[in-house]
Structure 1
Amino acid sequence: MHELIFYYMTRVAPTWEVARFFILHGVAVVAEVVVKKVVPDKMRLHPVVSGALALGFVAVTAVWLFLPQLVRNGVDEKNIEEYSKFMDLIKGLLPF
């Protein structure tokens, strides 16, 4: 489904990077659940540390697999242009 959405946005054949991103995250969630069941509470990381590690994992994999397809096909520039035009419209509608 995600590849279909990216195809709709870019009109470029799927590279399956986005699918790999979501599959990798699904595998990571399964691994996290297994580790939480196996490792005793005393040996678990502090939530601040585990949260930072999770955010780091998401950031690294997003830069590696998710964002390149958008940047490569100019979707980021198109979105910036559309938001700029939308803001110009809103400014024109405001009474002050």
Structure 2
Amino acid sequence: MFYYVMRVRPTWEVTWFFVLHGLCTATEMAVKEAVKGRFQLHRMVSGLLTLVFVFVTAGWLFLAQPLRNGMDIKVINESSILLKIFKAN
């Protein structure tokens, strides 16, 4: 999908984002099974750790290629054109 939208050769960063998250989810499940309720983080702590992990890896792997190829500028320009069309009608 990224190749279709950006028309640049894929660098596989987005694929590694999903592979990393899959591995971390499998590891989390294995650890939870191993401790079986003997140890559990507070819900606020585990939620905060999850959000930090997702945001850091998203910036590092998921958004790197689109930002490097100027997709943010293209989206802003196309959105402003669309807003002008709606305002004209």
TM-score w.r.t. structure 2 length? 0.92
Q: Which secondary structure does the structure 1 equivalent of 2:22 belong to?
A: helix
Distance (Å, rounded) in 2 between the aligned partners of 1:38 and 1:75: 43
Deviations 1:39-95 (A, max 9, x none): 2324110111101101100111111111110011111110111111112222222xx
Amino acid at match of 2:31: V
Amino acid at match of 1:26: G
Which residue pairs with 1:47 in the alignment? Answer: 43
1:1-96 to 2 correspondences below 5 Å: 5-93=1-89
Bigger relative CO (Cα 8 Å, ≥ 6 apart):
2
Could you list the runs of 5+ residues in structure 2 that have no partner in the other structure?
A: none
Q: Among the aligned pairs, what percent are the same residue?
A: 51
Please provide the CA RMSD for this pair.
1.1
TM-score w.r.t. structure 1 length? 0.85
Amino acid at match of 1:71: L
Distance (Å, rounded) in 1 between the aligned partners of 2:37 and 2:86: 52
Amino acid at match of 1:13: R
Q: Which secondary structure does the structure 2 equivalent of 1:41 belong to?
A: coil
Could you list the runs of 5+ residues in structure 1 that have no partner in the other structure?
A: none
Distance (Å, rounded) in 1 between the aligned partners of 2:85 and 2:31: 51
Q: Which secondary structure does the structure 1 equivalent of 2:31 belong to?
A: helix
In the TM superposition, structure 1's runs of 4+ consecutive aligned residues that sit over 4 Å from their partners are none
